Structure 1
């Protein structure tokens, strides 16, 4: 099989890892002809699009409904005392309401606590389709990104059924190892389960706690998961 994976220090891979690990982000919208900011809690679909759960009672949601142009920024932990040493990713997006059950399921897998209110009539999932992206990964490491490389590199990696089958096999056959991974990433207790999977890693959940685990090498097909689970990247702070 041809290996299309980027090297570990590839700036597009770093950006994907940062976005998929983010549990909070700043969302900029156009409100009354001026930019306005809101704190949101994103998730990322299998094909690399950011999704957010928003209430119609919020001004930023109503602004998005009027004008879907927006921007999303996520950042990681600073490596030095200067906050500007933190990696960050800025996405320019077009937002639209999503009624896709897969988007809602993905969001709630990453933010299970939101299940309490996600069914309220004023809440809905919005998909943010990226049209431009900028990443700053440290000194002299700023770049405008190729948007296509923020998603899966091959068609098989967009296969929801294949990802679900690989997760089910891992949960069934590697339960003890999954618990051990969760413990290394700051989790406690047993009974952790893999709840999302993509080319660059997966999320483990126990009750309302969710931990992101990155792979050292991106998957080419989901059938490689069992092998690559032996090659886990160290925990990172976001």
Structure 2
């Protein structure tokens, strides 16, 4: 009897890029944890953002079932990827297995994560500082990408992380760099939206930058753009953004 061909394709750069975009463009995700009392998987929906290194971040209440589960066992799984019209299984989705770490107030990353989270989820300002809420970073360990029918791949956690020595420096200057860019070019986000052919919506704005790319948002729509190579500093990122927005098609 002949061996059946493996349904898993060889992971290439296109697959890695698709996986990164599916993870970094998600505003929410399905989170699965292990129930500490029964051991059964427990799934719920969470809001999602990313830290400067591309690691996904969630904000949760300490009173929730999934937070209690994560305190008992730090293993978790995220499902990202939005279906469109027609068969939902024809659209890409990514399952990312993670080990979580809490980011309490006073943690070195807390203010940075808080700022980046609010850039995506401005309504979270109503409860983000409640004492029973905290952030978790979900460090990817491995992932399974389904890019549509017949396009299955396995990825390592490092495929999803921005491994750049410039991460911290860019994080420290990101807000000022974007503000300066918008002051010089007030229409930059709208120009990006036009060039990248995003869905028609209200006004767009840049809601995050990192060495690997940038995010623009309008209402419920968020678009992630990945650079071809990692940027070396915030000025480099803004230069890349300007070239995309204003270069001749």
Alignment-derived partner of residue 187 in structure 1: 201
SS in 2 for 1:107: helix
CA distance 1:137–1:131, shift in 2 (3 Å): same
For residues 13 and 87 of structure 2, the distance between their equivalents in structure 1, rounded to whole angstroms, comes to 22
Partner of 1:50: 56
**1:54, 1:151 → 2: CA distance?**
22
Q: Post-superposition shift, 1:77?
A: 2.8
**Residue 15, structure 1, aligned to residue 27, structure 2:** no
The aligned counterpart of 2:66 is 60
1:155 — aligned with what?
165
Per-residue Cα deviation, 1:128-174 (whole angstroms, up to 9, x for no partner): 11111111112332111132121224322453124345323322222
Which of 158, 166, 180 is the equivalent residue of 2:177? Answer: 166
Question: How many Å apart are 1:228 and its aligned residue?
Answer: 2.8
- 1:219 deviates by 3.8
Whole-Å Cα distance in 2 between the matches of residues 53 and 23 of structure 1? Answer: 12
Question: Given that residues 141 and 156 in structure 2 are in contact (C-alpha distance below 8 angstroms), is that contact kept between their aligned partners in structure 1?
Answer: no
Q: How far apart are the structure 2 equivalents of 1:139 and 1:119?
A: 43
Does the 8 Å contact 2:24/2:224 carry over to 1? Answer: no
- 2:138 pairs, out of 125, 128, 142, with 128
Query: Does the residue aligned with 2:16 lie in a helix, a strand or coil?
Result: helix
Quote the Cα distance in structure 2 between the aligned partners of 1:60 and 1:165. 35
Question: Radius of gyration: which is bigger?
Answer: 2
Relative to structure 2, which stretch is displaced further, 63-72 or 161-170? 161-170
**Cα pair 1:133 1:147 within 8 Å, conserved:** yes
- What does 1:1-238 correspond to in 2, within 5 Å? 10-31=14-35, 32=37, 33-78=39-84, 81-99=86-104, 100-159=110-169, 160-182=171-193, 185=198, 186-189=200-203, 193-204=205-216, 211-215=222-226, 217-222=228-233, 223-229=235-241, 230-231=243-244
Further displaced range: 148-157 or 91-100: 148-157
| Stretches of structure 2 lacking an aligned partner (at least 5 in a row) | 1-11, 105-109
Residue in 2 that maps onto 1:3: none
40-49 or 165-174, which deviates more: 165-174
SS of 1:64's partner is: helix
Aligned-residue CA RMSD (Å): 2.5
Describe the SS at the equivalent of 2:187: helix
Shift in Å, 1:216: 5.8
How many angstroms apart in 1 are the aligned matches of 2:188 and 2:44?
A: 38
- SS of the equivalent of 2:179 reads helix
**Alignment partner of 2:115: what SS?**
helix
Which whole-Å CA distance do the structure 2 matches of 1:97 and 1:172 have between them?
A: 36
